[in-house]
Structure 1
Amino acid sequence: MRHGSVTYFDAAGKPVLPETVPLNEDGRAQASAAGQLFATQGVRFDRVIVSGLPRTVETARRVLAETGQQVELEVWPELVEIQGGKLSAIPDESLHEAFTGAFDGVVAEHKRFLGGESVAELMDRVFPALERLRADPSWDTVLLVLHGGVNRAILSYALTGQRLFLGNLSQAPGCINALDVGAAPNDWVVRFSNQAPTTPLHQHTRSTTMEQLLAQYLKFRPLSQQNK
């Protein structure tokens, strides 16, 4: 899963630290709706893994509350979201690329997210964690509650069997992806992706999450800074 929706900018337009931001009202509803879907379908989890950021922890707890399961959350910090840099340091002419470039088509490994971590650095920590999980035979069904960028890395590897990052794999807040995995290195089957229980047809979505965040940021970015 991707965690539920959060609010990354406060009412004054100031960015909220992504390491601390909780779910907003929509995000709480999305997490609960995902849990209800799992419960309706009789899905039971042997393990639940989160990145440790509050938005993944809260999403996982709300899912488990709906399924009636008591599973201890495992925190894997190597699965945190791709890390951005300082927004104010990004020149105005580079803002669009900084916000959206890491999620545009087949993304080059050197591409950096918001002037911070590169796609290569993301894959360097996510893929070994995946291999460690796959090497453990003790589980049958595991729930990973992670992030849009991290989920794209996992789905990209599952779909291609290669070290590729497909940035245009949409990951709506609170969405579910279902993957089967076997013992062989490339034995992956993607059953479905980006299933959003509260908006299954995505009928109200015409822009990406990063395009929406860029629009929010530009509304409050000082004109003097934009003209620098």
Structure 2
Amino acid sequence: MSQPSRTAGRRRRLYLMRHGEVCYFDASTGRPVLPEQVSLTAHGQAQARAAGLYLREQGVRLDRVIISGLPRTAQTAAEVLGAAGLATLEPQAWPAWEEIRGGKLSEIPPAALQQAFCGLHQGRVDETQRFLNGESVGEFLDRVLPALQRLRADPHWDSALLVLHGVVNAALLSHALSGGQRVLFGSLMQSPACLNVIDVGDEPADWVLRGLNFAPLDGLRHDDRLTTMEHLLAQYLQWRDGRTPAGRPDAAPAA
């Protein structure tokens, strides 16, 4: 690992990524796949490599790489680091940054599906809101934000790459945009394998957002006006009704 070049009073840099595209429905049976087991599709791998090539072109150097530990973040980081010429860096797994955890879809009444799937993408999200009858936003922030403070308290890095998840990224971005508050702005959409660039100073409110949701391979995705979870809800309803989810399966990853 390269030696950090941090100097006192100098802001440090976070390159915050979401994992590449995955398929949450089995290609042969159409059945849902457990979120803990999904892997990158071929397109997701290409997205990650494109992000790595972009970092290389920009001359980015990193002191550390952190993933959530779920396979999709490990695979994304491996593709990114290989393409960036930084394959010698060893990612660290921080389980506190695993994606917000859902419950059992079968226990959600049909009338509540829309809110259960899509409620996290509606402005400032109340802490009582639960994701798919699982973890509440308050419980989620209880594990995500202390991990961020742990990273900030560590002086032994200057530039770090975090390869995480859509809602986790939204929580970290919300914290930065609000000057260090405990809040989740669900409208901060994260495209697969997108890059966000954040500078962080020593003071709790010292955050500077340099770049947001930049997807090197897929660009502006101008034809896609749905959120991630709106896509996934449509796929789930197709499967529940006995139809094979339509369209490219990796075009609608979960949160």
TM-score (norm 2): 0.86
Pick aligned residue for 1:58 from 69, 75, 97 = 75
Structure 2 counterparts to residues 1-228 of structure 1, below 5 A = 1-11=17-27, 12-69=29-86, 70-161=88-179, 162-222=181-241
Work out whether residues 121 and 227 of structure 2, in 8 Å CA contact, stay in contact via their aligned partners in 1: no
Residue segments in structure 2 that go unaligned for 5+ positions in a row: 1-16, 243-255
Higher helix share goes to which structure?
1
Q: Note the C-alpha offset of 1:4.
A: 0.2
Q: Note the C-alpha offset of 1:192.
A: 1.1
Amino-acid identity (%): 58
1:66-117 deviation digits (Å, cap 9, x = unpaired): 1111101100000000000111111111111100002211100000001100
Work out whether residues 196 and 213 of structure 2, in 8 Å CA contact, stay in contact via their aligned partners in 1: yes
Q: Note the C-alpha offset of 1:156.
A: 0.2
Q: What's the secondary structure of 1:192's corresponding residue?
A: strand
Partners of 2:66 and 2:40 in 1: CA distance: 18
Work out whether residues 96 and 214 of structure 1, in 8 Å CA contact, stay in contact via their aligned partners in 2: yes
Q: What's the secondary structure of 2:102's corresponding residue?
A: coil
Question: Structure with the greater relative contact order (CA < 8 A, sep ≥ 6): 1 or 2?
Answer: 2
Work out whether residues 13 and 216 of structure 1, in 8 Å CA contact, stay in contact via their aligned partners in 2: no
Residue segments in structure 1 that go unaligned for 5+ positions in a row: 224-228
Q: Note the C-alpha offset of 1:15.
A: 1.2
Q: What's the secondary structure of 2:211's corresponding residue?
A: strand
Q: Note the C-alpha offset of 1:202.
A: 2.2
Bigger mean CA offset, 198-207 vs 18-27: 198-207
Report the AA paired with residue 23 of structure 2: T
Work out whether residues 13 and 219 of structure 1, in 8 Å CA contact, stay in contact via their aligned partners in 2: no
TM-score (norm 1): 0.96
Partners of 1:174 and 1:204 in 2: CA distance: 18
Q: Note the C-alpha offset of 1:222.
A: 3.7
1:226 is matched with which residue?
none
